[in-house]
Amino acid sequence: MSKQFQFKLVLLGESAVGKSSLVLRFVKDQFDDYRESTIGAAFLTQTVTLEDQTTVKFEIWDTAGQERYKSLAPMYYRNANCAVVVYDITQTTSLEKARTWIRELQRQADPSIVIALCGNKSDLSARRQVTQEEAKKYAEEEGLMWGETSAKSGEGVSDIFTAIAKKLPQTAAPPKAGGAARSGAAASRAGVDLNKQSNALGGQNEPCNC
Amino acid sequence: MDEEYDVIVLGTGLTECILSGLLSVEGKKVLHMDRNDYYGGDSASLNLTQLYRKFRPDQSPPAELGRDRDYAVDLIPKFIIASGELTKILVHTDVTRYLEFKQIAGSFVYRDGRISKVPSTEMEAVKSPLMGLFEKRRAKKFFEFLQNWKDDDPVTHQGVDLDKNSMKEVYEKFGLEPGTQDFIGHAMALYLDDDYITKPARNAYERIVLYTSSMARYGKSPYIYPLYGLGELPQSFARLSAIYGGTYMLDKKIDEIVTDGEGKFIGVRSGDETVKAKQVIGDPSYFGAGKTADGGKLRVVEDGKVVRAICLLKHPIPGTDDSDSVQIIIPQNQVNRRNDIYIAMVSSTHNVCAKDVYVAIVSTIVETQHPEQEIAPGLQLLGPIYDKFVSTTPLYTPVGSGEADNIFITRSYDATSHFETVVEEVQDVWKRVVGKDLVLKKREVAVEA
């Protein structure tokens, strides 16, 4: 029997390093050269099937631009199972920024979070400012996963998400129902679903005509 | 900062964040700023460090309270009415995908020195210790009358006109005792004082129906509550706003509301930058909050005060069957006051504090020079209090409607135990800012692979 898991994945990184493009490539296998700053779609999902037929569904949270002025809400980090911290291999400063985000994750997120450092825009290696050795060394020191990607060509994109899927602990299955992958699935802790119409309303307690 | 915006929103309280989210969805270009480095303003939920910094700047939290990050202590005590207006906005905007809710386990009312569960149906009324045998029969008839009421069926009216007869007359028709009137008017219709009794019964009827239908929705109480505290609500609407293009700046000093010669809004100055917009919306703290500011212009005035005591307990509240969360209402008549005293308690079940800690907020509208003494009847119900943070907060209300100067100021969070008035405020400000009624459209479904 195949097993299914669902995890919350958050994206972090400096503006314009290609966070949304990376997700667009991963989720829809598309690329858009003139993509505006993130508007409108900040909640995507994609499923990865591993060799043993285990499926891992990522619930992907984009920053919606709230990282620009240090305004990401605690809600963003809350219960994130994994994070992809993106830098641009043609911008040294973007790796510096990535280090800041990683420190922030270590401070705010759950200690068990799986973090992948991702050097994007590998198609522009002619303009490379960040060497693979440098990034890899830093990742090893901090115990992060690392990889380079090109959202434009697609190179390395599915690899990094698959690698994350393999690394995530497949011990407890987080709940699949709506909302974020939050609390444990024990029935006694189940919350209420606002989107579901109550069936307890029929008849006696509902005299109004609304 | 050099761009021009349609609307600048100041403060990230729930009212402002709902407005910001709805305005962005509407296509407005919104800039949303807050002087604090956290979301929520006066409706934030704080961790222990933030809580102590706010109330006891010279003291750090005791280690035995546990991890800082386990705490999300609400500054205002409110619950969400399950079938109320805020629920509608949460569902229509689809921000429910960022949130998880749980029920509040019980709703209690104080009567003659002890607390009892609020009966909300004729069945519960029959079992309630709040009434004697004959009173139960009368209450049963009263609830049946309300539950069977149909506007277009005069037979169900039993000679009552909800728009003409006062609630007093309705109570008298069914012969209900003053103590029963107390729990119906205060613990079910959720009136803060007794002014409603002489007014037409329609409003009380609607409130009781809202209570009973909310009660029926999930079973244990009419209230629901977001995991990780009320501060999640503004954050989720801020995210909605950002997804629709809203720009967020926290930790931003707001130095001046810039106006032209006629007092009309031009922009907001922070340091030596001024960012322009057509309109500004903000909470009272950005507009002088009761003091004359900005060239001698008084923009908001004080309209009463609320006293709130945030109490950390190491045990559930006695007499509540060890409920993990409760509301307790002390009707004003029971303690010779004009306004009710409320207790709202949540716990680790709602991920707002460490295990075996309970956070209860006792609050009321201030009537005397000694606010803390006024909430004593509430504090006495809690049992031993581990620590307590008491504050008296003025309630501010704007002087102008904003239509003349494009400056729209929201009201402070009132003493009610729920969010219905917050939604009324959102609808009211929306109408003045946009010029038409707020119509909730279902948010378009985001791309799903």
Contact A178 B96 (CB under 8 A): yes
| pLDDT > 90: percent of chain A | 57
Do B419 and B298 belong to one domain? yes
Asked whether residue B365 is domain-assigned, the answer is no
Contact B446 A43 (CB under 8 A): yes
Q: What angle do CA A156, A159, A162 make, to 5 degrees?
A: 155
Do B280 and B167 belong to one domain? no
Mind telling me how many Å the CA of B47 is from chain A's nearest CA? 11
Range of the domain at B158: 106-218
B145 interfaces chain A, CB cutoff of 8 Å: no
Say whether pLDDT at A198 is over 50: no
Chain B interface, best mutation among A205, A206, A209, A210, by max B CB count within 10 A:
A205
Asked whether residue A115 is domain-assigned, the answer is yes
Asked whether residue B173 is domain-assigned, the answer is yes
- Picking from B199, B218, B237, the residue at the C-terminal end of a domain is B218
Residue range A3-28: mean pLDDT, rounded: 91
Lowest mean pLDDT among A24-28, B1-5, B171-175, B386-390: B1-5
Asked whether residue B258 is domain-assigned, the answer is yes
CB-count exposure of residue B24 (10 Å: 0-12, 13-18, 19+): buried
**Residues of A with CB below 8 A from B219's CB?**
200
Asked whether residue B235 is domain-assigned, the answer is yes
* Residue A39: predicted pLDDT: 53
- Picking from B188, B218, B248, the residue at the C-terminal end of a domain is B218
Lowest mean pLDDT among A176-190, B156-170, B266-280, B408-422: A176-190
Say whether pLDDT at A176 is over 80: no
Do B31 and B76 belong to one domain? yes
Tally DSSP H helices, then E strands, for chain A: 5, 6
Do B15 and B155 belong to one domain? no
Report the 10 Å Cβ neighbour count for B376. 13
Distance (Å, whole) CA A93 – CA A105? 19
Q: Tell me the per-residue pLDDT of B6-39, one tens digit each, with 9 for 90 and over.
A: 999 999 999 999 999 999 999 999 999 999 999 9
Confidence of residue B292 (pLDDT cuts 50, 70, 90): low
Q: Tell me the per-residue pLDDT of A98-114, one tens digit each, with 9 for 90 and over.
A: 999 999 999 888 889 99
* Residue B219: predicted pLDDT: 81
Distance (Å, whole) CA B72 – CA B329? 23
Do B265 and B398 belong to one domain? yes
Residue range A133-140: mean pLDDT, rounded: 96
Do B157 and B62 belong to one domain? no
Domain count, chain A: 1
Contact B216 A75 (CB under 8 A): no
Contact A207 B209 (CB under 8 A): yes
* Residue A44: predicted pLDDT: 84
Do B130 and B87 belong to one domain? no
Q: Which residue has the higher pLDDT, A201 or A72?
A: A72
Distance (Å, whole) CA B265 – CA B404? 9
Range of the domain at A145: 4-187
* Residue A38: predicted pLDDT: 53
Do B144 and B194 belong to one domain? yes
Q: Tell me the per-residue pLDDT of B56-71, one tens digit each, with 9 for 90 and over.
A: 999 999 999 999 889 9
Do B33 and B89 belong to one domain? yes
Asked whether residue B389 is domain-assigned, the answer is no
Distance (Å, whole) CA B11 – CA B254? 10
* Residue A169: predicted pLDDT: 77
CATH number, domain at B76? 3.50.50.60
**Residues of B with CB below 8 A from A198's CB?**
216-218
Q: Tell me the per-residue pLDDT of B425-444, one tens digit each, with 9 for 90 and over.
A: 999 999 999 999 999 865 54
Say whether pLDDT at A184 is over 60: no
Mind telling me how many Å the CA of B367 is from chain A's nearest CA? 37
Asked whether residue A101 is domain-assigned, the answer is yes
Say whether pLDDT at B49 is over 90: yes
* Residue B172: predicted pLDDT: 97
Residue range B308-337: mean pLDDT, rounded: 96
Lowest mean pLDDT among A107-116, A191-200, B99-108, B376-385: A191-200
The minimal CB distance from A205 to the residues B91, B212, B243 is found for B212
Asked whether residue B338 is domain-assigned, the answer is no
Say whether pLDDT at B128 is over 90: no
Q: Tell me the per-residue pLDDT of B209-242, one tens digit each, with 9 for 90 and over.
A: 999 999 988 888 999 999 999 999 999 999 999 9
Domain count, chain B: 2
Do B13 and B93 belong to one domain? yes
**Residues of A with CB below 8 A from B96's CB?**
178-179, 194-195
Do B82 and B138 belong to one domain? no
Asked whether residue B386 is domain-assigned, the answer is no
* Residue B295: predicted pLDDT: 60
* Residue B440: predicted pLDDT: 84
Residue range A36-52: mean pLDDT, rounded: 74
Closest-approach residue (CA) in chain B for A73: B235
* Residue B119: predicted pLDDT: 77
Contact B248 A180 (CB under 8 A): no
Q: Which residue has the higher pLDDT, A196 or B260?
A: B260
Contact B216 A28 (CB under 8 A): no
* Residue B125: predicted pLDDT: 75
Do B296 and B401 belong to one domain? yes
Distance (Å, whole) CA B191 – CA B168? 14
Distance (Å, whole) CA A27 – CA A46? 6
Residue range B406-423: mean pLDDT, rounded: 95
Confidence of residue B120 (pLDDT cuts 50, 70, 90): low
CATH number, domain at A87? 3.40.50.300
Asked whether residue B363 is domain-assigned, the answer is no
| pLDDT > 70: percent of chain B | 95
Confidence of residue A210 (pLDDT cuts 50, 70, 90): very low
CATH number, domain at B110? 1.10.405.10
Mind telling me how many Å the CA of A132 is from chain B's nearest CA? 32
Biggest CA-to-CA distance, chain A:
73
